[in-house]
Structure 1
Amino acid sequence: MNNVLIPDTNWDSNLYEDKHAFVWQYGEDLLKLLNPKPGESILDLGCGTGQLTEKIALAGAEVMGIDSAPAMIEKARQNYPDLRFEVGDARNFQVEQPLDAVFSNAALHWVKEADAAIACIYQALKSRGRFVAEFGGKGNIQAILQALYSALAAFNLPTEKLNPWYFPSIGEYATLLEKQGFDVTYAILFDRPTALAEKEAGIANWMQMFASSFLAGLSAEQQTQVTGAIEEYLKPTLYHEGTWTADYRRIRIVAIKL
C-alpha cells in the first residue's frame, strides 16, 4: 500500500492528537450509523491515530485501520498495539477478504480522485456490504478558504492547484457512487461549526495542521504574515469570546454494494 492518500502533507500526529481531537470525537456519532456488530469485518479508511478504529473493535468487529501517513499509523500502533494498522492509499488499496463494511471519518475530502477511491471501496466489500462515511461537503470552510485566498493573493501563488481538498455536494457524490454500483440509502449535508482548541491560537494551529500545502512555499516570516491576515479577515465572523470556530459543513453517506 502506497503512502499517497494525502499528497504533500506532513502530518504531525502529536499536534493532531493534542489540539484536534474534535476530528474523531465528532466521528463517534457516525459510529451509530455504522452500527458495527460482533464478528463483522470492517475497514477504517483514513483511520488517523486509531481512536474510532478502537471503538469499532470494542463492538466486537474484526477491524483494520489504514491511513496514508506513516506518522499517524505509527501513533495508532502505539495507542492500540492489539489492533492492525497499515499505511495505505484510498485510491489504490486491496483487502485479503471481502468486508462487511468500509467506514471513513474526516478523510475522503483529502482524496480528489473520488472515482478511484469509490472503486476501491466497492471492490473491498461483500455483496450487500455497506459504506459509511462522513467528510467535508459542499461549502465546507468557505469563509476560511476566502480568507486564505485573500491573504495569499499578494504572493501570486496558484491557490487552486495548492488546494488539497474535495468538498462535493450530495448530488455529485451520490451520482459517483451510483455509477459504480452502489445504492445510496442515506445522504445528508449539514453545517457543523466546530470550536477550535487553544483559544487565540486556534486558527493558526488549524492552518499548521490542515492547510500546510498553501504555506509550504513561503518563508517563516511570510507564513506569519499570512496567518495574521487570515485572523484579521475572519475575526468578525469566526472569533467569539476568545475562541475560534471553523465553519465546517459535512456530508454523511450510507451506501450499499448491490
Structure 2
Amino acid sequence: MSDSEFSDKKILQSWHSNAAPWIRAIDGATIASRKMVTDGAIVAAVLDHQPGSVLDVGCGEGWLSRALAASGAEVLGIDGVPELIEAARRRAGPGERYRQLSYDALAAGELRQQFDLLACNFSLIGQVSVAKLFAAAPALLRPGGHLVVQTLHPLTACGDREYRDGWRPGSWDGFSEDFSDPAPWYFRTLESWLELYRANGLEVVRLREPLHPQTGRPASLILSGRAT
C-alpha cells in the first residue's frame, strides 16, 4: 500500500470514529460557516443545473440529499460509513435513497446507473480516491451532465505553507471536544483542481468563490464541470 493509499484509508477510519459527533454537529447547526455560507452555496450551485437526478457522493447524514429532494430531484446518497448512512435513512423522505458504498467501489463500476449531476460537498479530501472518482465520473453522468464539487478554497486553506499539492495534517479546530483522530487531507491548488476536470473530459463551466460575510474571504471553492 502506498503512502497516499494509506492516508486515504486513514480518512475513512477517522469518519468511522467521528460519525456520531458529526451527526450531532449537523443537527445542531453548530458549524457557523456552513450555516452562513457554504450550505446555501452548494444547494444553489447544484440547482442552477436543474438536475432531475443527483448522486450525492459522500452524503454523510444526508442533509444535502434532503435539500435537493425537497426541490424536486431524485437523489441517491452514498457514503462509506454505515452509521452515517443509517442516520440518513432514518431521516429520508420522498425522492431520497441511500446506499453504503465506498469511493473505490463506485470507481470500480459497482453502481450501474447514470445521473444528471454528481454532487461532492466537502467530501473529496483524499488523493488516490479522488483521482479514481474523477476518472469514473464520465461513466456515471448522462450526456451533458455535471460534476459539482465544493471544497476548501486553496487560497485560504493553504495557510503559511507552500502553494503546492500535498498531504496536510488534519484538525478539528472550531469543532466540539467530542471529535477525535483528525484525518489527514490532500491539498490541491486551483490549477490542480482544474486539471482533474480537464484530464477526465469534463469542461469547467462555472467557478464560484462564496465569500464569508464576516471576513470577506473565500469560504469555499465550487467548481461545476460538464461531461463532453
| TM-score for both structures, normalised by structure 2 | 0.70
Aligned length: 190
Q: Which amino acid aligns with 2:185?
A: W
Partners of 2:72 and 2:10 in 1: how far apart? 28
Are the equivalent residues in 2 in contact too, given 1:38–1:59 (CA < 8 A)? no
Within 5 A, what are the aligned runs for 1:142-181?
Answer: 142=158, 164-181=184-201
Match of 2:39 in 1: 27
Q: Output the amino acid matched with 2:227.
A: K
Q: Which has the larger radius of gyration?
A: 1
After superposition, give the CA deviation of every residue in 1:194-228 in whole Å (9 maximum; x if it has no partner). 9xxxxxxxxxxxxxxxxxxxxxxxxxxxxxxxxxx
Give the equivalent residue in structure 1 for 2:220.
250
Q: Is the 8 A contact 1:136 1:166 kept in 2?
A: no
The aligned residue for residue 186 of structure 1 is 206
Of the three residues 116, 126, 133, the one matched with 1:111 is 126
Give the superposition deviation at 1:116: 0.7
Determine whether 1:12 maps to 2:12. Answer: no
Aligned equivalent of 2:141: 125
Partner residue, 1:88: 101
Residues 89 and 117 of structure 1: is their aligned pair in 2 closer, same or farther, counting only changes over 3 Å? Answer: same
Name structure 2 gaps, 5 residues minimum.
1-8, 162-167, 170-181
Q: Distance in 1 between matches of 2:121 and 2:21?
A: 18
SS at match of 1:28: helix
Residues 188-227 of structure 1: matches in 2 within 5 Å?
188-189=208-209, 192=212
Return 5+ residue gaps in structure 1 as ranges. 150-161, 195-244
Q: Deviations over 1:63-109 (max 9, x none)?
A: 1001111111111111226531111223441433221111111111x
Partner of 2:175: none
Quote how far apart the aligned CAs of 1:123 are: 1.6
CA RMSD of aligned residues (A): 3.3
Please report the TM-score for the alignment, with normalisation by the length of structure 1. 0.62
Distance 1:184 1:142 in 2: 22
> Runs of at least 4 residues of structure 1 off by over 6 A?
36-39
Shift of 1:17: 2.9
Secondary structure of 2:75's match? strand
